[in-house]
Amino acid sequence: MALVRERRQINLRLPELSDRRPRFPLPLPPAPTTTTTTTSTSAISCNDIEKIHVIGHGNGGTVYKVRHKRTSQIYALKVVHGDSDPLVRRQIYREIEILRRTDSPYIVQCHGSYEKPSGDIVIVMEYMELGTLDSLLQKYGTFDEPKLSHVARQVLSC
């Protein structure tokens, strides 16, 4: 004789993720002791860049495809809006610091950054013409096992 019992209904609430908060914690750099309105970490300035078109929009900013006027080199320009809270701004500067120190063929290079007088943070990065993993997934659908193993090998080698 089989015993059948009623299944309990368990309703677990997932925490709501704010659009303004990062999805994962990053170690934060120490808070600056002095405030500056303009920061430059590269020889590339906003006057050297010509916007070609918008690549995409994110939680706090916009990414543009741009051309360096003197060299005709193509870059991705990430502009993060200055109205974000101080915690988000510190995490953006941490991301810049990590990208500047990372030397891997599998991670985009950061060629420089600066802060506009409006407070917007601008990051000049290597342009990847094939796009992001997300755009490749949208274009081609799911990845087969050999493609997944190739991506996993690249991630694990960093």
Residues making up the annotated binding site are: 78
CA torsion sign for 57, 80, 29, 155 is positive
Beta strands 110-115 and 74-80: pairing type?
Answer: unpaired
Measure the CA–CA gap between 84 and 78, rounded to whole angstroms: 15
Q: Do residues 128 and 108 touch, judged by C-beta distance below 8 A?
A: yes
- Per the annotation, binding residues for ATP are 78
Nearest partner of 65 among 54, 57, 56, judged by Cα: 54
Q: Residue 113, by phi and psi: left (phi above 0), alpha (psi -120 to 50) or beta?
A: beta
Cβ-based burial of 31 (10 A; exposed 0-12, middle 13-18, buried ≥19): exposed
